[in-house]
Amino acid sequence: MNKLTIGLMAIILWSACKFNAGDKKTLPIYGNRHPITKTVDGKTITDTIYQTISKFKTVNQYGDSINNKSLDGDIYIADFFFTTCPSICPVMHRNMLNVYNVFKGKGDIKIISYSIDPKHDSVPVLKKYADKLGISGNTWWFLQGKKDEIYKLSESYLVQKPQEDAKQQFIHDGSFLLVDKQKRVRGAYDGTDTKQVDQLIADIKTLQNEPDQSIAQ
């Protein structure tokens, strides 16, 4: 019994120390995964295929075509919004501004906001919104695409699919999704919660330091 207690204490102590080694933290990889076997140099190896973000085609606030390839080599944060959203979008983008201010102009970090109301949110509307928010340059893109494609795309970001209620109001998920250079979702944060957004900023830095991040697929 006494030995058991000592053993338990040792385990607790060891895990406490391990917990403190926070700088070695790695982020989880979300979504479905499946193993594949392939032959490389005559040897059969097993690899894991992770769920990645589907292809998409959109235009940004400058009228430039933006697709999944435009984000090659970038870590990025995605959300879904619309410019006339009266409920959670203002607080989401107030919090996203904090992320923007930390990472703007820093090369391999991007923010993309997909409009779920592309009928209203045309390129000039998105440009005006970005201007008023105080966004310039190419760190944060506001994207207009085809509505059904954007709705479908939300599934690969593992968020609740947007929907419209009886009053044609859009209901959508307030999440910020962190996507790595291999286009895998590595974190989901409540964009209306400043504490979670602080965590997102910390996790982006963790992801930047991940060795794999230098190898773009």
Partner 1 sequence: MKLKAIGSISVLILILFVLSCQSEENLEFERYYSNGAVVYQAHCQNCHGANGEGLSALIPPLTDSVFLKNNKNALACYVKFGLKGQISIKGKTFDDAMPANDLSPMEVAQVLTFAGNSFGNKLNTIDIQQVEAGLGKCK
Binding residues for partner 1 (CB under 8 A): 86-88, 90-91, 93-94, 97, 129, 131-134, 192
CA distance 51 to 85: 30
Beta carbon of residue 167, minimum distance to partner 1 (angstroms, whole number) = 12
DSSP three-state, residue 93: helix
Tell me if 87 sits within 8 A of 53, measured CB to CB: no
Residue 174 or 187 having the CB closest to partner 1:
174
H or E segment to which residue 13 belongs? helix 2-20
Beta carbon of residue 59, minimum distance to partner 1 (angstroms, whole number) = 21
Residue 2 or 168 having the CB closest to partner 1:
168
Beta carbon of residue 194, minimum distance to partner 1 (angstroms, whole number) = 9
Beta carbon of residue 91, minimum distance to partner 1 (angstroms, whole number) = 5
Residue 91 or 201 having the CB closest to partner 1:
91
Tell me if 185 sits within 8 A of 153, measured CB to CB: no
Tell me if 109 sits within 8 A of 103, measured CB to CB: yes
Which ranges of 64-160 does DSSP label H, i.e. alpha helix?
A: 89-103, 123-133, 147-156
CA distance 51 to 180: 12
Residue 76 or 129 having the CB closest to partner 1:
129
Beta carbon of residue 4, minimum distance to partner 1 (angstroms, whole number) = 50
Three-state SS string across 117-130, please?
CCCCCCHHHHHHHH
Residue 15 or 87 having the CB closest to partner 1:
87
Tell me if 181 sits within 8 A of 50, measured CB to CB: no
